[in-house]
Amino acid sequence: MARLRRVSAVLLIIWLILPLIPLAIWSFAGVWRYPNLLPQIWSYRPWSFALSDQSGVLSSLALTAGIALAVTLISVVIGVPAGRALGLYTFRGKALVELIILAPIIVPGIAVALGLQTVFIGLGLNNTVTGVVLVHLIPTLPYMVLVMAAVFAAYDPLAEDQARSLGASPAQVFRHVTLPAVLPGIVVGAMFTFLVSWGQYILTLTIGGGRVQTLPLIMFQFVVSGRNDITGAIAMIYILPGVLILILTARHLTGRSAALTGFGR
């Protein structure tokens, strides 16, 4: 078991870290011409440009994080009760509701976005941060609802009745029984949501109309103009949340953990 885990850790590192190495080297390249294996001249200029006000990377970082956090918060607020309803209860039209929730994953995002664009123009939501947050909910909410539905499917709501009967107030039941059972699921779903929002390009571009400059949009401008060095520096910043989340959760994702289950019956 321990050996298997060590092997999988090594594989994970190869999988995730190796593809990033060229970009990391680029971010310190002054001059790097073909066919040299390494830059002829090393430089910190890509980094100093990326971190300067001129590039707009830092303000974009704050904007991207703000949008991702808002999307995550709304997903949790909608996804937890929706997941509870789908996981715990059977009701008329449940299959239809599930289909509607899954539909955004099935339909290509760009098709939806182009259709939504005309609607959003009418509502004055085009080119606004609010519009971008709303459109990010399309690909994220299904994941959140699905994760929470799975968590609640393994959760016995009688545990709440039991706690009430033992004298806990409704607030105490939530704090001491419901929340500990579903929190790992909420955390997993929230991280998913944050990363999916963080990685959106097409939807942000379509609805944000180029006015809402999130990090991938800025980075893509430098990709298109062939500035591999600056792209490399921004990419290093861009992957930070993913790496942080991976480090924080590696233990939970590989170890024996209740991260994806509620109360076992």
Partner 1 sequence: MTSIQITGLCKIYPNAAHPALSNLSLNIPAGSLTALLGPSGCGKTTALKIIAGLLAPTSGDVAFNGSSVLGQTPDTSGAVMVFQNPLLFPHMTVAENIGFGLSMRHLPKAEIAARVAEMLSLIQLPNLGPRRPSQLSGGQAQRVALARALILRPRVLLLDEPLSNLDATLRSEMRDLIRSLQRSLGITTIFVTHDQEEAVVLADQIALILDGRLLQFGAPEAFFKRPATQTVARFFGANNFIPGKCQGGLFTSALGALLLPPAMPEGPATLMIRPENIQLGAAPTNTLQAILISRTYLGSQTRLNLQVGEVQLEASVNPDAAATLTAGAALPINLPPQTLWLLP
DSSP conformational letter for 41: E
**Residues 155-184 interacting with partner 1 (rule: CB under 8 A):** 156, 158-159, 161-169, 172, 176-177, 180-181
How many angstroms from the chain centroid is the CA of residue 83? 18
Residues that bind partner 1 (rule: CB under 8 A) add up to a total of: 21
Q: How far is CA 172 from the centre of its chain?
A: 31
Give whichever of 98 and 156 is closer to partner 1, judged by the CB atom: 156
- Closer CB to partner 1, 54 or 90, in the complex: 90
Instruction: State which residue, 45 or 164, has the beta carbon closest to partner 1.
Output: 164
CA torsion 172-175-180-182 (nearest 10°) is 110
Spell 77-109 as b/e; 16+ CB within 10 A means b.
Answer: eebbebbbbbbeeeeeeeeeeeeebeebeeeeb
Does 89 contact partner 1 by CB under 8 A? no
Please provide residue 41's backbone torsions phi and psi, each rounded to the nearest 5 degrees. Answer: -125, 125
Q: Smallest distance, Å, CB 151 to partner 1?
A: 13
Binding mask 115-154 for partner 1 (x = CB under 8 A): ----------------------------------------
Cβ of residue 170: shortest distance to partner 1, in angstroms?
A: 9
Q: How far is the CB of 184 from partner 1 (least distance, A)?
A: 10
**Which residue, 239 or 258, is less far from partner 1 as judged by CB?**
258
- State the Cα–Cα distance between residues 264 and 138, nearest whole angstrom: 31
* Sign of the CA dihedral with 51 first, then 248, 87, and 98 last: positive
Subset of residues 207 to 236 that bind partner 1, contact rule: CB under 8 A:
none
Binding site for partner 1 (CB under 8 A): 156, 158-159, 161-169, 172, 176-177, 180-181, 258, 263-265
